[in-house]
Amino acid sequence: MIRSDRCRKNQYFSFLNEFLPLLVFTLVSIQGVAQEFPDFSDSGSQLHPPIISSRNIPSEEVSYVSDEDTFEGDAGDGASVESREGNQTHTVRKGDTLGSISKRFFGTTKYWKKIASSNGISEPGKLKVGMVLRIPTGVGKPATRRRRSKAISYPSFDAVQSLPPAPVPSLPPVSSGNDVVLYQDKGLPQILLPESIKNENTSRYSVTFEGLTGLMHTFAAYPLGKGLFSTSFGTVWNKITRRDGVRLKNGEDGDYWQFPIALTYAGDNFEAGLQLPFESYDIFAPITYNFRDGSDSGMGDASLRLKFSSQNDNMASCLGLGAIFPTNDRIIGNTDNDNAWEVFGGVSTKRKEGGNFHLNGGYQASSGNTTHEGIFFNVGFEYSANTSFTFMGEINSRNRVNNGRSTDLTLGLRYFVKPGMTFSLAAPIALNNDMFFGYDYRLEGQMQYHY
């Protein structure tokens, strides 16, 4: 590893030895071109190329030239040099005087008479623009100038090689949590993708009336979210219109109410849901049911379900077990109660945008609980219109021994009050219903919050 670092360091300084002279030569060439083609808008400016050493780069000077001072032999705009040893000439410009011309060339105004004498001028105040004046040589001292410069120093190649290597900032090591290593190689630091970036947005999830993550009755194959606990309260109402598939006669009426409470806890790939339903019946069916002014209320059958999921970024599948306990104490309807067991499974899509499908089904078995024994099947679709609303559509089918069959088309809307808190409304419409107490439609509402 040490030998590899030295090799890379030697290659780095070898590159500097080859590249920096080429860069310096290019800069000097550009400055030489600028000297051949000066910018005459800056009066009296002059470029001086630096002297190049084979080992050291000298400082670069940036000069600031005023209108009053010039280099020796440079008279600024309007001046020309006939020869290095002969007379200079100056073309008179607007505002020029013999004194200003003397100061331009000699640094003082006292030689204006010499200029007038050399050009045969008897009236110094009547200079004409465009006149060409000869500037005598050998008179006084040429104007000198003070130069303000800014030095830019470059270190020599030897100094560059003697510099210590720059420290490489170290990144935190890979933790034992759920951080994802985005890139890793020998000799290079690891680049981490924090867990918070890859976590999915579980605030968009809610639970069913039965306590599992999903829509209204169709559960999803993925869990609510690791370490989340949910509480939900629901209300279900329907008008009883049938008894064992026979529609009630005129003058007969019935109402059914249910108030389910669901408690949910989710882990990384599992979920547990407990449902406690409270029920109420109010029936007047003296002809069909031979029951006059019947009413009853109490606890329905409680249920506990465990769901185990396998998922990736796009799909999820699950298998689960459930148990139904005979806590029902009503005296109306089918009162045969016994423990029932349930097995179920399902699949779901997990697209981040647009809609997702859910498909699941199961079987309930018991030796005597005819209210629940049978099969069920659900298919659902949800579409997130925006961050506040999700539209839901479901087909829910039940076929239970001695309790009839039902198929409902359920249309629902879910409103996200804030992350983890939702209100849901749905209206199941009976496509087929010959259960012990049948209905034409239902109205359902639910409030859920997970934390």
Q: Express each pLDDT in 251-307 by its tens digit.
A: 888 899 999 999 999 998 999 999 999 988 888 888 877 766 577 778 888 899 999
- CA 42 vs CA 36, 39, 47: distances in Å: 15, 6, 12
Q: Roughly how many angstroms between the first and final C-alpha of the chain, as a whole number?
A: 50
- Specify which residues 72 forms β-bridges with: none
Q: What percent of the chain has pLDDT over 70?
A: 62
How far apart CA 252 and CA 384 sit, in angstroms, is: 42
154-171 burial, b at 16+ Cβ within 10 Å, e below that, comes to: eeebeeeeeeeeeeeeee
User: In 3D, which of 322, 337, 332 has the Cα closest to residue 257?
Assistant: 332
pLDDT(189) > 60 = no
Beta carbons within 8 Å of 69's beta carbon, 6+ residues apart: 44, 107, 143, 144, 145, 146
CB 96 within 8 A of CB 109: no
Q: What is the rounded distance in angstroms from the CA atom of residue 383 to the CA atom of residue 353?
A: 9
Assess contact for 106 and 139: CB atoms under 8 A: yes
Domains (range + CATH), the chain: 1-62+147-165 (no CATH), 65-145 (3.10.350.10), 168-199 (no CATH), 202-450 (2.40.160.40)
Please name the residue that has the structure tokens 């949800």.
Answer: 382
Q: Give 369's contacts (C-beta < 8 A, 6+ positions apart).
A: 324, 326, 336, 337, 338, 339, 340
Residue 266: predicted pLDDT? 95
- DSSP state at residue 213: B
301 closest CA partner among 271, 243, 255, 340: 340
Whether the CA torsion 239, 244, 247, 249 is positive or negative: it is negative
Is residue 307 packed enough to be buried (19+ CB in 10 Å), middle (13-18) or exposed (0-12)? buried
3-class DSSP string for 10-56: HHHHHHHHHHHHHHHHHHHHHHHHHHHCCCCCCCCCCCCCCCCCCCC
Check residue 267 and give its pLDDT. Answer: 93
**DSSP, residue by residue, 139-157:** SS-----------B----H
* CA gap 226, 284 in Å, rounded: 48
Is the CB of residue 76 less than 8 Å from the CB of residue 59? no
Q: What are phi and psi of 158, to 5 degrees?
A: -65, -40
Which range, 26-30, 108-112, 407-411, has the best average confidence (pLDDT)?
407-411
Counting residues of the chain whose pLDDT is more than 90, the rounded percentage is 32
Q: How many CB atoms are located within 10 Å of the residue 51 CB? A: 8
Report pLDDT digits (tens) over 242-265. 888 888 888 888 899 999 999 999
pLDDT tens digits along 202-239: 678 899 999 999 999 999 999 999 999 999 999 999 99
More confident of the two residues 137 and 236: 236
What is the band of 446 on the pLDDT scale with cuts at 50, 70, 90?
very high
Tell me the three state secondary structure of residue 3. Answer: helix
User: Within 10 Å of residue 447's Cβ, how many Cβ atoms?
Assistant: 14
156, 16 Cβ separation under 8 angstroms: no
